[in-house]
Amino acid sequence: MNRQIVTLNAGSSSIKFAVFDEDVRPPTLIASGLAQSVGGARHILVRDRAAVALHEEQWVPSEASAFHADALRRVLAWRTGAFPDARVAVVGHRVVHGGAHFDRPVVVNDDVLAELAALEPLAPLHQSHNIAGIFAARAAWPDVPQVACFDTAFHRGHPFVHDVFALPRSFYRDGVRCYGFHGLSYEYVMGRLRAIAPREAAGRVVVAHLGNGASMCAILNGASVACTMGFSSLDGLPMGTRCGRLDPGVILYLLLEKKLGVAELSEMLWTESGLKGLSGISNDMRELEASDQPQAREAIDYFVSRVRYELGGLAAALDGLDAIVFCGGVGENSWSIRDRVLEGMDWIGIKVDRTANRAGAERISSAGSGVRVFVIRTDEEAIIAQRAVELLALQVFLTAR
């Protein structure tokens, strides 16, 4: 009977999942899928590693049906039906926030779950759904280890100047600090960069994870130095529905002068701002790029300007730059956003091969560019599976000693 790794990546309105062969090193993808809620319908699509559809279903929920619980039940039922003779060896979960304590993957127990639940206010769009995925997997496979892999762990070694806010120091001791996010994506991308460009991977790299959630990270010899996201995943770049960088005085003004309640303000910052709020049209970059409305163009202009601004700052944090990597839905698929971000960047040593960029090549910098530019498709599920099985093997080794 073969053994499998299951990965769950539960977001605000979607669940990514994958099944890997545990008997192969590194773990080999068998199938992956996406469950999402779009409009009034819910949909699951599963594909094999060759992108051939294996399973698809769509349903209209009842009023009492919660998306995540419903979708997780269907996802787990599909896996059991598709692989009745395969045993689940371990389940790996993406958990957005690990706080100051969790700096590496961990086997989940009740104490860990309590600590993760306490972090929900720092990642309200994701943390509760990550935890719900853990509970669902525990119920389905009560004797199978559940491993939490954290988006924040990659950034836990930041220098003090990139880890702190200029507030009374007691707040820093209490955990008010720059955590950074998208760490699983950065970890995977750097592994891929080491395979295709080892010299650059060992140097000064800025990775731009641009999607509905967006951040950028300065990486030196494989280690995170600074990230545009700080205390929460609201910070830094404007995103699909999140505001990004914001003067704290604006928060005070909206609370005190505009009399917004805390719940109303929170809802606005997390779900009504960013590209959606600025354009008044959509949080989807594809829709904005296709639109002829001036508000759509202005929202894109703002997004591009903020990416360019942060690129300059992160290059300064690294004392120079050897490579840039684009990843994430926008970073991987929008040649025009990449083109605009890198336009006129000769001063920092970047020269773009526009033909390669339009074609979506893996390397889009020209032969004479002092800074090499890459497009790498990120794979958070692969790094979750790898880290989960490594931790499981370590535990077996330590138990056998």
**Distance of alpha carbon 201 from alpha carbon 326, whole angstroms:** 14
Burial class (CB in 10 A: 0-12, 13-18, 19+), 220: middle
The DSSP element (H or E) to which 342 belongs, if any, is helix 335-342
Q: What is the dihedral of CA 324, 328, 333, 336, to 10 degrees?
A: -50
Q: What is the dihedral of CA 61, 64, 65, 68, to 10 degrees?
A: 140
- DSSP for residue 363: B
Residue type, 358: R
Among residues 103, 151, 174, 301, the one annotated as catalytic is 151
Q: 3-class DSSP state for residue 35?
A: strand
What is the strand order of the sheet 204-209 is part of?
A: 223-227, 215-220, 204-209, 323-327, 372-375
CB count, 10 Å around CB of 362? 12
**Distance of alpha carbon 83 from alpha carbon 105, whole angstroms:** 27
Nearest one of 294, 274, 270 to 284, comparing CA atoms = 274
174 catalytic, yes or no?
no
* Residues tagged active-site: 151
